[in-house]
Amino acid sequence: MKTLLAALVALACVPALRAGPVEKKIAELAAAPGVANASWGLSVQDAATGKSLVSRSPRLNLVPASTMKLFAGAAALDRFGPAKTFSTRLYYTGTVSNGFLNGDLYIRGGGDPSLGSQLTRGAAPMEEVFKAWKDALGAAGIRVINGAVVGDDSAFDSVQPGSWAWEDIGNYYAAQPSALTINDGLYKLYFKPGAAPGDPAEVLRTEPYVEGLQFEDHMKTGPAGSGDNGYIYAFPGQFRAVLRGSIPQGQPEFAIKGALPDPALFAAQAFGAYLAKAGVNANKKPRRGAPPEGAKLTQVAETVSRPLIEVVRVTNKRSFNLYAELLLRQLGNGSPEAGAAAVKAFVAGLGADASELDVEDACGLSPRDKVKAETFTALLRGVYRKSYFPEFYETLVYPGDPDATGHVKNLGKGTPLEKSLRLKSGSLNGVRSYAGYLKTRKGRTLVFASVMNNYTAPGSAIDRLHEELLLALYAAY
Cis ω before 208 (30° cut-off from 0): yes
Phi, psi at 244, each rounded to 5°:
-140, 160
Q: What's the CATH class of domain 20-82+309-476?
A: alpha beta
Q: Does residue 302 contact residue 293 with C-beta atoms inside 8 Å?
A: no
Helices (H), 126-262: 126-139
pLDDT at position 6, please?
A: 42
pLDDT at position 19, please?
A: 56
Walk across the sheet containing 144-145 and list its strands.
95-97, 100-102, 144-145, 281-282
Q: Does residue 219 contact residue 189 with C-beta atoms inside 8 Å?
A: no
C-alpha dist (Å) from residue 256 to 207, 344, 473? 11, 35, 39
pLDDT along the chain (477 residues), means of 10: 40 43 94 97 97 97 98 98 98 97 98 98 98 98 98 93 92 97 98 97 98 98 96 94 97 97 98 98 97 96 98 98 98 98 98 95 98 98 98 97 90 95 97 98 97 97 96 96
pTM: 0.94
Residue in 435, 477, 417, 429 with CA at minimum distance from that of residue 454: 429
| Superfamily of structural domain 87-157+262-306 | D-Ala-D-Ala carboxypeptidase C, peptidase S13 (3.50.80.20)
Domain extents in the chain: 20-82+309-476, 87-157+262-306, 172-259
pLDDT at position 158, please?
A: 85
